Amino acid sequence: MSNNPVYTYHEKQHFNLGGNSRKRKIGIESLRRFDHCALCLGVAREATSTPRGIIYCKECIYADLLAQKQEIKAAKTTLKQLKQAQKDGSARRAEISKQGNVERFDKAQKLGGDNSQSQSQSQPNSSSQSHPTLPSFWLSSLQPNISDEQNIADRIRALEAQKMVTLCRQATPPHPLTLKDLTPVKIKYTDSARDVAVCSGCNRTLNNSTRMLLTKSCHNLLCGYCIDTLYTPSQQCPVCDEKVDTNPDDLIRISVEGTGFAGGGGVMLKKRTGTLGLN
C-alpha cells in the first residue's frame, strides 16, 4: 500500500476495486479524533470517559442519559396503563359472561322443562343455519380482525422485551451505562486552541494510532510507554505522584474508533476488499 490519497492502478487491481469504485483512501482526517465527543463530534468539553474508553462531553452524555431516563419513564407509564386496561378488559368480559349465564338460567326457568327441551332441540338447527358449512377453508370476507385485547397484549410484550436501563448507544454493542460509571479525563494540550493533545507524563503527542490509558484514581491520560515504564513498576502516577492500584481494572483503554462511515461502513469495506476506502 502506498501513502498516496488516491488508489494506484496496481492497488485497484490487487484489491479488485474496479474502474469506477472507491477512489480515495480513508486518511486521518476522515476519523474522529480520540479527544472529540462521540455525540457532538467537537473537542470534548469537560471530557468524560465510559468504562470502555469512549470520550464524551460531560454535558452531552448527561443530556443523553437524561433523555433515555425520560423515555424509560414514559415506557413504564405506558406499560402500567396497558396492563391496567388489559385487567379491566378481562374483568369486563367476565362480568358480561356472568350476566349472560344468569339471563339464560332465568329464561330457562320461566319457559319450563318442555319448552327448554324444544328450544334445545331447535338451537342446533338455528346455529347450523346461522353458520353454514362453507366449501372453502378461507374467505377474505370472513378473515378475523385483530381485537383490541390482542393489540394490547402485543404492545405489552414489546415493552417488556425492551431493556429499561440507560445505555451507551455509541458502543458496539451498546452496554448499560449510568452516571456512576463515568470517569473524568484530564487531557493535556500544547496550546489554548486544543489542537494537539499530549501525554500528561512525557508530553508525547497523542493521536488515534497511540495506545492511551486513563487512570481511574487520578484521571490522568497517559501513553502506553509511561504506563509500562513508570506507572506500573513504581505503582505511582508520574504526574501527581499519587500511589495507585496496579489492578488492571484501574486503567481504561481509550477507544479510537471512528464515527459514521469510518466507524461503521469501513468495517464492511475492510472485510470485502482488505482495505478501507471512500467512494
67-77 pLDDT, tens digit each: 999 999 999 99
Q: pLDDT tens digits, residue range 32-45?
A: 888 999 999 889 99
What is the per-residue DSSP string for 155-201? HHHHHHHS--S-EETTSSS-EE--GGG-EE-B-EESSTT--SEE-TT
**pLDDT over threshold 60, residue 265:** no
> CA-CA distances (angstroms) from residue 176 to 120, 132, 163, 164, 166?
63, 58, 9, 10, 6
- Rounded (5°) CA angle 35-220-37: 20
> CA-CA distances (angstroms) from residue 19 to 3, 25, 268, 274?
20, 15, 20, 17
What integer is the mean pLDDT of 229-243?
Answer: 87
CA atoms 230, 236, 240, 241: torsion sign? negative
C-alpha 184/C-alpha 252 separation (Å) is 11
pLDDT band at residue 135 using 50, 70 and 90 as cut-offs: low
The owner of cell 377453508 is 137
**pLDDT over threshold 90, residue 106:** no
Look up residue 259 and give its three cell numbers: 464515527
Q: What's the pTM?
A: 0.64
Cβ distance 238 to 226 under 8 Å? yes
C-alpha 113/C-alpha 128 separation (Å) is 23
Burial (Cβ within 10 Å: 0-12, 13-18, ≥19) of residue 168: buried
What integer is the mean pLDDT of 172-201?
Answer: 90
Question: Which superfamily does CATH assign the domain made up of 9-59+168-278 to?
Answer: Zinc/RING finger domain, C3HC4 (zinc finger) (3.30.40.10)
